[in-house]
């Protein structure tokens, strides 16, 4: 399978006469694998490949490995592991490639990571946050399987603990409703208390077109990944955290904090520092020695 994937990437690159390829994983969620010691180094992971150990090498890992071996930048928009295991993080650094993931943030969790900081800022104690999600496309059908749904539910739930600093009662449900097609609906109930412990409630309904919400993010991230490659950036692109529910190596789940990192990059791109002349460089060196 990996050799087929690598051949397909090479053929695509040759057919379109490309200098560089960015691979994006947009597949449906896979069952949560048992990630352990044999994923910790590149050599151990490649041993799993040589043994054809399908239980420990998931399709997303295989695709990420093929992409990185072919010198491609890589984006994982799914909750599947992709390149986030230690062995593949090592491979990305070895190949000097930028990458990022996991699990695109386009709906309920986008709203959740926007609203939750408000409750923390105003010291409004969230007692319960319940979320009910319905969708009807291929993703919805796949997520109807409890094994495939597990990683998605974990990513949706953990953001509250991170932002609030405590664990309110919280449950997230994902139901497959075929008639909804590519449209997804989320209904959330937030039960909180304020001054004098007076209980209050906030409810919201989010209804969006799954593909339309995801497509512009994917296009932007491909451009960011291509730019990062030209700038010789290596490893996780942490400034893309605001696009993901489970961003690699990022601790703060607040959308505002994550977006600030992207905004800092935008300012740098729009107003790059002036090229340094040999005279100014010498002057700065002189000042440092002084």
Domain of 43, CATH number, reads: 3.40.50.720
Both 164 and 179 in one domain: the answer is yes
Q: Check if the beta carbon of residue 155 is closer than 8 Å to that of residue 133.
A: no
Do residues 21 and 159 both lie within one domain?
no
Structural domain contains residue 235:
yes
Read off the pLDDT of each residue in 17-40 and give the average, rounded to a whole number: 94
pLDDT of 287 = 35
Q: Work out the pLDDT band at 19, boundaries 50, 70, 90.
A: very high
Predicted confidence at residue 55, as pLDDT, reads: 87
Question: Is residue 205 domain-shared with residue 237, that is, in the same domain?
Answer: no
| In a shared domain, residues 121 and 179 | yes
Q: How confident is the model at residue 51 (pLDDT cuts 50, 70, 90)?
A: very high
pLDDT surpassing 50 at residue 282? no
What CATH number is attached to the domain comprising 192? 3.30.360.10
Same-domain status, 49 and 171: no
Q: Which of 209, 233, 251 is the last residue of a domain?
A: 209
Asked if 29 and 78 count as a contact pair (C-beta separation under 8 A), the reply is: yes
> Residue 288: its pLDDT value, please?
33
Give the pLDDT mean for 200-216: 97
Beta strands 98-101 and 169-176, pairing class = unpaired
Calculate mean pLDDT across residues 20-28.
97
pLDDT at 128: 98
Query: Is 280 domain-assigned?
Result: no
Residues 153, 19, single domain; the answer is no
What integer pLDDT is reported at residue 279 of this predicted model?
A: 47
- 99-130 per-residue burial string, b: 16 or more CB within 10 A, e: under 16: bbbbbbbbbbbbbbbebbbebeeeebebeebb
Does residue 278 fall inside a structural domain? no
Residues 59, 97 within the same domain:
yes
pLDDT of residue 147: 87
Q: Which residue has the higher pLDDT, 284 or 121?
A: 121
**Mean pLDDT, the chain, whole residue set:** 92
**Per-residue confidence band for 157, with pLDDT thresholds at 50, 70 and 90:** confident
Q: How confident is the model at residue 273 (pLDDT cuts 50, 70, 90)?
A: low
194 shares a domain with 113: yes
94 and 188 inside one domain: no
Q: How, if at all, do strands 22-25 and 199-209 pair?
A: unpaired
In the chain, the number of structural domains is: 2
* The pLDDT of residue 271: 67
Structural domain including 25 reads 2-104+213-270
Same domain membership, residue 233 and residue 94: yes
């Amino acid at each position: 399978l990996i050799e087929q994937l690598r051949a397909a990437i090479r053929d695509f690159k040759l057919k379109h006469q490309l200098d560089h390829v960015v691979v994006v994983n947009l597949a449906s969620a896979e069952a949560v694998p048992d990630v352990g010691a044999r994923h910790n180094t590149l050599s151990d992971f490649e041993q799993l490949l040589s043994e054809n150990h399908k239980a420990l090498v998931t399709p997303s890992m295989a695709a990420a490995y093929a992409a990185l071996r072919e010198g491609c930048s890589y984006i994982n928009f799914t909750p599947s592991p992709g390149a986030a295991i230690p062995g593949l993080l090592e491979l990305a650094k070895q190949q000097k490639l930028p990458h990022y993931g996991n699990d695109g943030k386009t709906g309920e969790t986008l709203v959740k990571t926007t609203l939750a900081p408000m409750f923390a800022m105003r010291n409004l104690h969230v007692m319960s946050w319940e979320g009910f999600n319905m969708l009807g496309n291929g993703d919805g059908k796949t997520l109807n399987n409890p094994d495939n749904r597990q990683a998605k539910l974990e990513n949706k739930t953990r953001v509250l603990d991170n932002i609030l600093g405590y664990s309110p009662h919280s449950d997230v449900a994902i139901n497959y409703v075929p008639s909804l097609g590519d449209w997804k609906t989320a209904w959330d109930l937030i039960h909180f208390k304020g001054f004098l412990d007076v209980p209050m409630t906030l409810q919201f309904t989010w209804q969006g077109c799954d593909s339309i919400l995801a497509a512009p993010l994917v296009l932007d991230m491909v451009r960011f990944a291509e730019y990062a490659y030209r700038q010789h950036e290596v490893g996780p692109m942490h400034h893309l955290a605001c696009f993901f529910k489970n961003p690699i190596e990022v601790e703060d789940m607040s959308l505002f904090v994550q977006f600030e990192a992207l905004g800092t990059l935008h300012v740098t791109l729009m107003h790059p520092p002036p090229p340094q002349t040999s005279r100014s460089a010498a002057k700065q060196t002189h000042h440092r020695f002084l």
